[in-house]
Amino acid sequence: MVRYLLDGAAATTEQAPGANPLIMVAIFAVFIILWYVIALRPQRKKEKELRAKVDKMRVGDQVITIGGLVGKVANIRDDEVTIMTSAANTLVTFKKNAINSVISRDAKPEATKDQAASKEEKKSDKIVLKKKEKTEEAPVEEAAEKEDNGLGELKD
């Protein structure tokens, strides 16, 4: 059987002199390396960061589970976490592996340039709207006063 395989390998090299099996293996290895760098490495990095956050998690931190539950941590045991959800303070217990993200109570949201710019635009829009309301209210009030003066006093 080994003889059959060796004869088959020799026949393929004789028929296709340009096809070197080492080149095929090298191309395959390059694809494996690219797949690791593009897909696996970033995913493992995110998993490590999440595990670090879960290990540092304290009572009072906000947690989002993989199922979409959002709540504050009420109790932490070995590998279980109890959170309070909703306004009724419903307690839910689940495994630490089910945590999707942890938002520390000490963490402050970072304002990016886009967010800061949008806040400034909203403030300027409010100012413009207030000015428009004041200019629109003044003539309406004056017109109402003129109508009242023209009608005279109404008796009940």
What is the per-residue pLDDT across 85-105, written as a single tens digit (0 to 9) for each? Answer: 988 889 999 999 999 999 988
- Distance (Å, rounded) from C-alpha 3 to C-alpha 11? 12
Q: Mean pLDDT, to the nearest integer, of 113-119?
A: 57
More confident residue, 136 or 69: 69
pLDDT of res. 89: 86
pLDDT tens per residue across span 58-94: 999 999 999 999 999 999 999 999 999 988 889 999 9
- Distance (Å, rounded) from C-alpha 129 to C-alpha 8? 84
pLDDT of res. 104: 86
pLDDT of res. 111: 47
pLDDT of res. 116: 55
Token pair in block for residue 90: 């419903």
Q: Mean pLDDT, to the nearest integer, of 132-143?
A: 56
Give the chain's length. Answer: 156
pLDDT of res. 112: 47
What is the SS3 string spanning the chain?
Answer: CHHHHHHHHHHHHHHCCCCCHHHHHHHHHHHHHHHHHHHHHHHHHHHHHHHHHHHHCCCCCEEEECCCCEEEEEEECCCEEEEEECCCCEEEEEEHHHEEEEECCCCCCCCCHHHHHHHHHHHHHHHHHHHHHHHHHHHHHHHHHHHHHHHCCCCC
More confident residue, 91 or 15: 91
DSSP strand E in the chain: where? Answer: 62-65, 70-76, 80-85, 90-95, 99-103
pLDDT of res. 53: 94
- Distance (Å, rounded) from C-alpha 56 to C-alpha 48? 12
pLDDT of res. 4: 62
- Distance (Å, rounded) from C-alpha 12 to C-alpha 17? 8
Could you say which of 2.60.40, 3.30.70, 2.30.30, 3.10.560 is the CATH number of the domain covering 57-103?
A: 2.30.30
pLDDT tens per residue across span 22-56: 999 999 999 999 999 999 999 999 999 999 999 99
